Chains A and B, each alone.
Chain A
Amino acid sequence: MKDSQVKKLMDTLSFHPEERERYYAAFDLCGFPQDDVVEYLVKRLGEEKSRPVQEAIVTTLITIGTEAVVKGCAELLRSEDAYVRNAAVEIMRLLQRTSLGVARKLLRDPDPDVRLFAVDVLGELKVKEAVELLRRVVEEDENINVVAAAVEYVGEMGLRSEDREAVEKVRERFSDPFLEYAVEEALRKMEV
């Protein structure tokens, strides 16, 4: 019974010509928080052409909020579509605790763009553990864009002397006016 309901909703979301029908099929799938539904929704988010329907899918993924959602979103960070990437960051931001572990793993991804999104996710989480991870990025990551983003977030959230020291030290690893500016800004914010 449950399976046939899920199938019906998935079919509606995939094929129904009416936007409103797809919109509510996306909403209704939140009643079925199993991993295969999550997998389907994540895939569908990248394929759907209507923005309202995409937003309904995002809302449902947030409501389901399991680890499978966060893992799916981590994959969406590699999408070519800026909306999809931002939606993935937004979902991960709202799923705070669940996202933390997944974002931590992404910080080791070979692709610097993915690491940059992981930094964005952590920067939006506003939890103590996120600041610690971001400080480690400032200390260890080799990519200047990733480090600059992490510096910015540490500047906003870092309260401890280690945070300040890490930001100051980053100048020793990179010599770049862009990063210099980010460091100055971060230090100024941490003084307030």
Chain B
Amino acid sequence: MTIEEFVKLRDYIYRKTGIYFEEKKLYYVEKRVKARMRAVNLDNFRTYFAWMRFDLSGCELQELLNALTVNETYFFREYQQLRCFAEEVLPEILQSKNGQHPKRVRLWSAGCSTGEEAYTLAIIMREMTKGLPVTWEIHATDLNTDVLEQAKKGLYGGRAVKDVPDVYLARYFRRVGEQFEVHPELRHQILFYRLNLLDRENMRKMADFDAIFCRNVLIYFDDASRREVALYFYDALRKGGFIFLGHSESMSRITPIFRLRKFKEAIIYQK
């Protein structure tokens, strides 16, 4: 793939999704494009690119995006932040709902990939609200339809569950050969669906969330798109709602509209 071809493809993907691949990613992109070309029996980039663009169903673009956006993740990733959610943020959310019966909590795992974060949140919610008059739901979205399919299956290898405390492993997973299957009850409490974070129409429908987890996702966006997504998140949160970013990410560098809250072991942004 020449640099001109890369730029052409990169700009096209950017226009369609807001995801931006820097030039240092040329080999990463090339490898995955070649795999797609092999899959559809095309051996010339120009032909492939033209074919993908004129494929009105959008299927090939989706396949290519699936190949380009697979991220490794695991249960209980960035543990301190999750503990902050469980022990400090969630009680505050529940406190703010005094007078509501039952208290209804809505969480969103944005860019959920293969679902580890969404299931982790489901485990936390079950543990922390046991015996309380609380109902909750978790929305888990991703652009990549392949990872969403995997997430719905809820079947994981040993690496993904390496940080799950033993007691939760026993309580929420079933061993299937070398793999671990998430308890069906947890699976039923999560709504997995495809969502492009830059899809204006659909992002506006996302509303009334108490917390959004969007960890290590915005790094794929350029500055302008990152701003746009952050503002959609702002609108999707209820007043006082929280947004959790990856621990090396900063909302202050994106937009000043969120308030910075310092908790014992984590810094979280709040509407």
Contact = CB atoms under 8 A, between A and B. Distances in A.
Interface of A: 20, 23-24, 27, 51-52, 55-56, 58-59, 62-63, 65, 83, 94
Contacts of B234: 52, 55
B231 A24 contact: no
Which of B204, B234, B255 is most buried by chain A, counting CB atoms within 10 A of its CB?
B255
Contacts of A63: 224, 228
Query: Binding site of B, secondary structure by majority: helix, strand, loop or mixed?
Result: helix
A56 B223 contact: no
Contacts, number: 33
A168 B223 CA distance: 35
Interface string B208-233: 00000000000000011001100100
Contacts of A65: 224
A27 B200 contact: yes
Of all A-B residue pairs in the complex, the 7 with the closest CB atoms, nearest first, are A62-B224, A59-B227, A55-B257, A52-B257, A59-B228, A55-B255, A94-B223
B58 interface: no
10 contacts: A20-B235, A23-B235, A27-B231, A51-B257, A55-B227, A55-B256, A58-B227, A59-B228, A62-B227, A94-B224
A51 B224 CA distance: 18
Contact of B204 (A24, A58, A62, A83): A24
A51 B259 CA distance: 12
A59 B257 contact: no
B197 to A, nearest CB: 14
Contacts of B204: 24
Interface of B: 200, 204, 223-224, 227-228, 231, 234-235, 255-257
Nearest to B232: A27
Contacts of A23: 231, 235
Nearest to B223: A94
Given A27-B200, A51-B256, 19 more contacts: A20-B235, A24-B204, A24-B235, A27-B231, A52-B234, A52-B235, A55-B255, A56-B231, A58-B227, A59-B224, A59-B227, A59-B228, A62-B227, A63-B224, A63-B228, A65-B224, A83-B256, A94-B223, A94-B224
A184 B200 CA distance: 49
A26 B259 CA distance: 22
A131 to B, nearest CB: 20
B235 A59 contact: no
Contact of A52 (B200, B224, B228, B231): B231
A89 to B, nearest CB: 13
B135 to A, nearest CB: 26
A94 B224 CA distance: 7
Contacts of B200: 27
A94 B231 CA distance: 17
A190 B107 CA distance: 47
A75 B245 CA distance: 35
A140 to B, nearest CB: 31
Contacts of A55: 227, 231, 234, 255-257
A27 B255 CA distance: 15
Contacts of B224: 59, 62-63, 65, 94
A145 B36 CA distance: 55
B204 to A, nearest CB: 7
Contacts of B235: 20, 23-24, 52
A166 to B, nearest CB: 29
A179 B256 CA distance: 31
A110 to B, nearest CB: 31
Contacts of A51: 256-257
B69 to A, nearest CB: 23
Contacts of B228: 59, 63
Contacts of B223: 94
B29 to A, nearest CB: 23
Nearest to A31: B200
A50 to B, nearest CB: 10
B238 to A, nearest CB: 12
Nearest to A58: B227
A68 to B, nearest CB: 17
